[in-house]
Structure 1
Amino acid sequence: MYKSFGLIAFVCLSLQMLGCNSDKKNPNDELKKEVIKIHDEVMPLMGNLKSLKTKILEISASLSQEDSPDHDQIQKLEFLAGELDSAFEGMFVWMRQFNSDFEGMSSDEIRNYLLEQKLKVEKVNVDIKQAIESANEALKVE
């Protein structure tokens, strides 16, 4: 009888300890939140990218209409418009390939995937901010 009670107590205590361990946060959840936070920081700037591209192309077109157009300046503006477009597209490329369903992946595989995604989305973040900064600088000169 006492052996059965001891066995039942052991099983209950083990289950309780397992339950407590499940309350601990999964480090991959925190890493995923970091990745999403980086994305969320620049996602609201997407409209700004398109707006700046439109302004830059308008200036470029206007310069092209002048009697003696500054071809170097036009080329710089068109390059900048391409950078804005590339930054815009980079966000959507990243979003299309990002997979938040980790079914069938081990904890280590999830961690490695999220670390890789963090690097990718950080690049997208930097590209967007740099393109906007360059465009704003070019518009100040004009």
Structure 2
Amino acid sequence: MRKIFNVLFFSIITVLFSCQSEKVDENQLLKDEVIAIHDEVMPFMGELRSLKKEVDNKSDSLANKDAEAFAADIKRLESISKQLEDAFEGMFIWMRQFKAPEETMDEEEAKSYLLNQKELVEKVNEDIKQAMKVAKEELKSA
């Protein structure tokens, strides 16, 4: 009887620990996914800055030619420049606030936090890609 009790006890403990381990692994995978989304666009930060400079130069050039005649173009370029700047800043705002889930968090808290961070970093990712696309299209049409 004691042997059956020991086997049953160890089986229950093993199942509990394996479930706990799966939760931790799920959260690690989620954390890795968040970082991968960030890592996809982080290398574009320099290009983002270069595009902003090109857009600003184009705007300044039009303003020097005839600010009144090119007012609509200048306004569009200023909007694109702001979009580029906001995308750039969005990345650094996200990076400053992101923290790996603390070990004191339970698994559900960590999962909730990471899911929220995934949404935030996906927005940053999309903002960067969209701003670059718009700027490249504008500069190509020059």
TM-score (norm 2): 0.85
In the TM superposition, residue 20 of structure 1 has moved relative to its aligned partner by 7.4
| Deviation per residue, 1:14-53 (Å, 9 max, x gap) | 5983697276562111111111111011101111110000
| Paired positions, count | 139
Q: Which runs of 5+ in 2 are unaligned?
A: none
Report 1:102-141 matches (<5 A): 102-141=102-141
In structure 1, the residue matched to 2:60 is 61
Q: Which runs of 5+ in 1 are unaligned?
A: none
Percentage of matched positions with identical amino acids: 44
CA spacing shift, 1:116–1:101, aligned 2, 3 Å: closer
In structure 1, give the amino acid aligned to 2:14: M
CA spacing shift, 1:109–1:16, aligned 2, 3 Å: closer
1:17 paired to 2:11: no
CA spacing shift, 1:104–1:23, aligned 2, 3 Å: closer
| Deviation per residue, 1:81-130 (Å, 9 max, x gap) | 01000000000000111110423211110111011000000000000000
In structure 2, give the amino acid aligned to 1:46: M
In the TM superposition, residue 141 of structure 1 has moved relative to its aligned partner by 1.1
In structure 2, give the amino acid aligned to 1:100: A
Three-state SS of the structure 2 residue aligned to 1:65 is helix
Is the 2:101–2:110 contact (alpha carbons within 8 Å) kept by the matching residues of 1? no
CA spacing shift, 1:118–1:55, aligned 2, 3 Å: same
Is the 2:101–2:113 contact (alpha carbons within 8 Å) kept by the matching residues of 1? no
1:93 paired to 2:81: no
In structure 1, give the amino acid aligned to 2:73: Q
Report 1:23-42 matches (<5 A): 24=22, 26-42=25-41
In structure 1, give the amino acid aligned to 2:113: Y
Greater Rg by CA: 1
1:49 paired to 2:48: yes
TM-score (norm 1): 0.85
